[in-house]
Every structure is written in C-alpha cells, then in structure tokens.
Amino acid sequence: MEDKFKLDNQLCFRLYSASRLLTRVYTPLLAEQGLTYPRYLVLMVLWEKDAMPVNDIAKRLYLETNTVTPLLKRMENEGLVTRYKGADDGRQMIVRLTPKGYSMRERLASVPDKVGAAALCESVTTETVPALFKTLDDIIGKLKS
C-alpha cells in the first residue's frame, strides 16, 4: 500500500496545521484588544486601503462575500468600521474605518513582531522568510486560478 494517504505526507495537512497553530499564537494577543483573528485581517486590509467595497475586501482575504458581510456587521456594531452604500452603485456596500478602527493599528503594533518571533525556528529565520513567502505565494497563485 502506498503512503500517499498517510496524513504526514499531505501538504494540505501541514499547511492547515501551521495555519491553525499560528492563529493560536494570535488569539491571546488580539483578545487583549477585543479582536478575533478574522477581524484583525479585515482591519489590516483597511489599514492598507480604506473605504473599500465589501467585494474587494472578500477577494483580498480569499473569502466569499457572504462570509465577510456578517463579520463586517459585527465590526460595525463594535464601532470599528462604518458601512454605507456606494455613490456610483447603490448596490455596492463600502466599508470605512472609524477612528476606533484606525487607533487599533497603534494598539496592535507589537503583534506582528511577537507572532514572527513565535514562528522563527531552525528553518524559518529572518533571512529565509522572503523565500517562504515566495513559496506560499506561488502555491496561493496556483490554487486561486
């Protein structure tokens, strides 16, 4: 019998495990500010470019709009974002950071360094991270097309 069905030989399982474990590092750091990891991802997207359509946020996060919309509604209820209809297309919902949403960036400034430090190991160093990003970007690019 081949080993192709052995769990440890599955790329998907290694990526899934690494993702879950890395997200677990984020959890207490974000919880201090009342955030979840998905909310943090939305904030990062809007910190890069504010006032984005819901569809663009969903695309940037590789999620479906119907997954992002309830998340954005909760973020609006928490005062992190506002949502309004687009001027050009009334069917399009635009999301903008509130002052509270902007201020989270400063309050979370130490998170990327803490998470990065937690993930560094023998094969993942500050020198090898760019190559790892390239590999992961190649995988993502191949799979999203």
Q: What is the CATH number of domain 3-116?
A: 1.10.10.10
Mean pLDDT to the nearest integer, 5-28: 95
Res 1 pLDDT > 70:
no
Quote the pLDDT of residue 87: 80
pLDDT attached to residue 88: 79
pLDDT single digits (tens) 49-75: 999 999 999 999 999 999 999 999 999
115, 26 Cβ separation under 8 angstroms:
yes
Q: How many percent of the chain have pLDDT more than 70?
A: 99
Helix (H) or strand (E) holding 93: strand 93-97
Q: Give the residue ranges of DSSP H helices in 49-110.
A: 54-60, 65-77, 99-107
Place of tokens 């959890």: 27
> What is the chain's mean pLDDT, rounded?
95
